[in-house]
Amino acid sequence: MGRDGGVMAADAAVAAICAKYGSDQRHGDHVEALARQLFEAFLPLHMLDEEYERILAHAALLHDIGYFVAAKGHHRHGAYLVLNDQEMRDYPLNDRELLAGIVRNHRKRPEAAPKAWPKERRQALMWLSALLRVADALDYEHNQAASIAQVLACDGGFEIAVRGFDPRPFAVRLADRADLLQSLCGGSVRFSGAPR
């Protein structure tokens, strides 16, 4: 199967499993858009290619499918479904393992990749997990109100200016979800409101 055929099969597998488990499509689509913006904004640091952006987009769509099993531990349930559900059989196994890791890491304490993975793949897991964690936190209330106006490099880190969303009431949650991104960037990640 050629590359285009493989991408189409992977896209179809993601759509099928989302439908099967009744994921919140509007939330997933919005988190995907936010995650893609963050991927582009931090590209000079992570230097991952478009293959990884596609996997991040799929993780954004799939990150909450574990709610079908249970709310508690839904990140772990989602990772299990990504790895084991028959709907994902056409998704390449190597990419599926990475995808499951990102889904698992979108909340709670992130887990590192297996040491047997190549260094680039281990770093990709951490970066993609970090970006998804922030994107999901920006739509925590599932209302699709937040948009990223810009990401600015500033003294000692980065500032993510958000439109349509006041980050102040969610400061603790945002800081918690940005922890991994901060460690990868080597500096602070702050959030601010942007004018409409």
pLDDT in the model for residue 49: 95
44 HSE (CA, 13 A, CB side): 5
Q: Where are the domains of the chain?
A: 3-142
In the structure encoding, which two tokens stand for residue 11, read together?
């896209």
Rounded mean pLDDT of the chain? 93
pLDDT at 7: 83
**CATH code of the domain made up of 3-142:** 1.10.3210.10
Beta strands 188-193; 147-154: pairing state: unpaired
Instruction: Convert the pLDDT of each residue in 6-54 to its tens digit.
Output: 788 899 999 999 999 999 999 999 999 999 999 999 999 999 999 999 9
